[in-house]
């Protein structure tokens, strides 16, 4: 690896962590109702929204009312996306005259974008009109991300408050997340991406004359190529910032119209983890102890750095099958080196491995290379990150409330080891909180594994597994891990746009989004009513290096025990097969 290759992840992490405090502090002020530099412009707009929707911003909700509001809003969004897809053939802003989307694909996509998963079983440029991309998909990129942030803030209030009954107002949290945080950041990023050459237009697809004619599958001479364009930059900005991930084009951020330059690549991959990292500091500010947020961020970062190193090593080592054929995979001035299958030459191995790790550490799923072409252990890294529950940074909001479930489990187990009732930030962790935290940990695991088991047994699942053996199993396991983690990346290779996979993956996405959000809100409702207990001699400090190490251990053990058998049938045995010849 060159010096530049080594510096790339270091600079990335340095910039990410430097931005966490200012952005996190700003978000804490927004959610606390304090004045910010955006209020002179946006506060009147916020008040107008409340009046138009008949929302009383000072009327707070219990956790059950908050949950009902969240579910109803998301259900209406899901239905709107479904209807827009089914009617797109007769709606405007469809210059290519694309037909209505099939019922099963419409269901899958509606669930996917409402649940902040953004799994795509379709090619955007050949399936979705400009109106559908903007009004259905881009809007959901904003509000599904804002929903996850709102649930996190409700949980944070549940921890910070005591002897209370309410955890905030969902409509206020949703509005502030969108208006003060997501919209301004997306506007800035979209303008930056346009400056780098990302397309943003309502024009018809463009036709270019080929420099050298080609021959198609029907042996017809092809002299022109149709270039898909559209309002891409606006969607790409929020797909990254909101950890959504659904690409405007089929190959996502490997497409030069979505990600044309090294700077656009850096900005897009930075945007993936920017808000999730900053929310750790927001959490610390809102609970009155920033050390708690830094401790959680430190645990996330340690795991992330180790897995980035594994992914880079696996891909930089190259493919022994190609080496046996005499292919030079050594890095030089004229050769990027390593396993370059499925990767863009302009990005190379390190940037591709960094993106793959970042996009699956968050519930983003956008790609700048094809994970299906990674080496077995290189592909294991993004797969395992999703299987941990998308809590290493994770989705905006959802990642941190998933991590807080691990914190509760870690505190509870530590308390049992010393024979003391466990506490977290002055609140006793009892049976109810443990049951809800266990649901948050176990539901994605069960959804991914049951879905995979059904797919490799059902005729509809087997029919479109095009790669035999261990790799084919990895593709199925990856798909259901992605759906269960509300990620949207895929191992490709698998024919997922079928009635079976559209339905099965849609069900898994619904379960893993809302059956996790509801227990998180239930924990908030339980903790907010408890008295605050003063710290004593037996209280476990949850901001020390010892607790960070303990939390990492709990995360790794739960992940390892849950998925090692399944991984053993997929990427691990494939690794042994590749290097065993």
Please write the tens of the pLDDT for every residue from 40-63.
999 999 999 999 999 999 999 999
Residue 402 confidence (pLDDT) above 80:
yes
Per-residue pLDDT band at 418 (split at 50, 70, 90) = confident
Dihedral-angle region of residue 168 (phi above 0 means left; psi in -120 to 50 means alpha; beta otherwise): left
In a domain, 520, yes or no: yes
Residue position matching structure tokens 């497409």: 255
pLDDT at 50: 96
pLDDT at 46: 97
Report helix, strand or coil for 203: coil
Residue position matching structure tokens 């891409």: 232
pLDDT greater at residue 329 or residue 573: 573
Among 443, 514, 455, 515, smallest CA distance to 479 is for: 455
Segment 182-225, tens digit of pLDDT = 999 999 999 999 999 999 999 999 999 988 888 888 888 988 88
Percentage of the chain beyond pLDDT 70 is 99
Segment 315-341, tens digit of pLDDT = 998 888 888 888 877 877 777 778 998
In a domain, 216, yes or no: no
The string of DSSP letters for 422-469 reads -EETTEE--HHHHHHHHHHHHHHHHHHHHHHHHHTTSHHHHTTB-S-H
Residue 101 confidence (pLDDT) above 90:
yes
What is the rounded CA–CA span in Å between residue 131 and residue 95? 10
Per-residue pLDDT band at 1 (split at 50, 70, 90) = low
Strands (E), 155-278: 206-215, 221-227
pLDDT greater at residue 35 or residue 558: 35
Calculate the average pLDDT of the chain: 92
Residue 525 structural domain: 3-210+227-579
Residue 470 confidence (pLDDT) above 80:
yes
Residue position matching structure tokens 């006793």: 428
Report helix, strand or coil for 207: strand
Number of domains within the chain: 1
Q: How many CA atoms lie within 13 A of 17 on its CB side?
A: 17
In a domain, 219, yes or no: no
Burial class of residue 250 (count of CB atoms within 10 Å of its CB; 0-12, 13-18, 19+): middle
What is the rounded CA–CA span in Å between residue 323 and residue 483? 35
CB atoms within 10 A of CB 70: 24
In a domain, 218, yes or no: no
Per-residue pLDDT band at 502 (split at 50, 70, 90) = very high
Residue 397 confidence (pLDDT) above 80:
yes
Segment 54-94, tens digit of pLDDT = 999 999 999 999 999 999 999 999 999 999 999 999 999 99
In a domain, 319, yes or no: yes
> Would you state the torsion angle of the CA atoms of residues 247, 252, 256, 261, taken in this order, to the nearest 10 degrees?
90
Give the residue-averaged pLDDT of 459-468: 92
Give the residue-averaged pLDDT of 370-389: 93
Strand 221-227 with 206-215, pairing: antiparallel
């Amino acid at each position: 690896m060159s010096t530049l290759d080594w510096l790339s992840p270091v600079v990335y992490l340095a910039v990410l962590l430097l931005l966490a405090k200012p952005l996190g502090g700003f978000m804490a002020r927004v959610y606390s109702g304090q004045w910010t530099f955006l209020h002179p412009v946006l506060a009147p707009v916020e008040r107008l929204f409340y009046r138009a929707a008949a929302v009383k911003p000072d009327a707070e909700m219990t956790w059950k009312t908050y949950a009902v509001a969240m579910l109803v809003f998301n259900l209406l969004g899901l239905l709107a996306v479904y209807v827009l897809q089914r009617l797109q053939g007769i709606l405007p802003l469809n210059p290519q005259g694309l037909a209505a989307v099939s019922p099963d694909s419409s269901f899958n996509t509606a669930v996917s974008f409402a649940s902040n998963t953004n799994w795509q079983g379709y090619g955007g440029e050949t399936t979705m009109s400009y109106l559908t991309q903007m009004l259905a998909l881009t809007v959901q990129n904003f509000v599904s991300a804002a929903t996850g942030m709102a649930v996190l803030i409700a949980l944070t209030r549940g921890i910070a408050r005591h002897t209370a009954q309410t955890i905030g107002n969902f409509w206020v949290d949703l509005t502030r997340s969108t208006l003060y945080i997501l919209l301004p950041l997306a506007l800035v990023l979209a303008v930056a991406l346009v400056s780098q050459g990302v397309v943003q237009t309502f024009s018809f697809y463009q036709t270019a004359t080929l420099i050298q004619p080609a021959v198609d599958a029907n042996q017809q001479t092809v002299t022109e190529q149709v270039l898909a364009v559209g309002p891409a930059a606006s969607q790409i900005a929020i797909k990254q910032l909101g950890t959504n991930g659904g690409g405007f084009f089929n190959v996502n951020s490997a497409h030069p119209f979505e990600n044309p330059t090294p700077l656009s690549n850096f900005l897009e991959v930075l945007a993936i983890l920017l808000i999730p990292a900053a929310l750790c500091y927001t959490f610390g500010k809102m609970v009155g102890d920033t050390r708690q947020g830094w401790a959680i961020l430190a645990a996330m970062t340690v795991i992330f750095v180790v897995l980035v190193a594994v992914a880079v090593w696996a891909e930089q080592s190259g493919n022994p099958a190609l080496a046996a054929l005499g292919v030079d995979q050594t890095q030089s001035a004229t050769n990027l080196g390593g396993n370059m299958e499925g990767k863009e030459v302009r990005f190379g191995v390190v940037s591709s491995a960094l993106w793959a790790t970042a996009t699956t550490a968050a519930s983003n799923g956008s790609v700048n290379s094809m994970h299906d072409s990674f080496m077995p252990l290189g592909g294991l890294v993004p797969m395992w990150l999703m299987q941990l529950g998308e809590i290493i940074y994770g989705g905006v909001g959802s990642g941190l409330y998933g991590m807080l479930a691990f914190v509760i489990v870690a505190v509870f187990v530590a308390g049992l080891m010393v024979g003391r009732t466990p506490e977290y930030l002055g609140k006793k962790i009892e049976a109810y909180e443990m049951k809800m935290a266990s649901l948050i940990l176990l539901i994605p695991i069960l959804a991914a594994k049951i879905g995979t088991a059904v797919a490799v047994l059902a005729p509809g699942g087997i029919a479109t597994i095009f790669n035999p053996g261990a790799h084919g199993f990895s593709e199925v396991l990856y798909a259901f891990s992605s759906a269960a983690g509300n990620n949207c990346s895929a191992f490709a290779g698998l024919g997922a746009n079928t009635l079976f996979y559209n339905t099965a993956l849609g069900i898994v996405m619904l379960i893993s989004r809302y059956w996790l959000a509801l227990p998180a809100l239930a924990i908030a409702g339980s903790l907010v009513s408890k008295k605050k207990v003063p710290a004593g001699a037996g209280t476990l400090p949850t901001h020390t290096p010892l607790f960070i190490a303990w939390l990492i251990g709990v995360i790794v053990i739960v992940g390892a025990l849950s998925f090692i058998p399944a991984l053993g049938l997929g990427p691990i045995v494939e690794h042994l097969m590749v290097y065993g010849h």
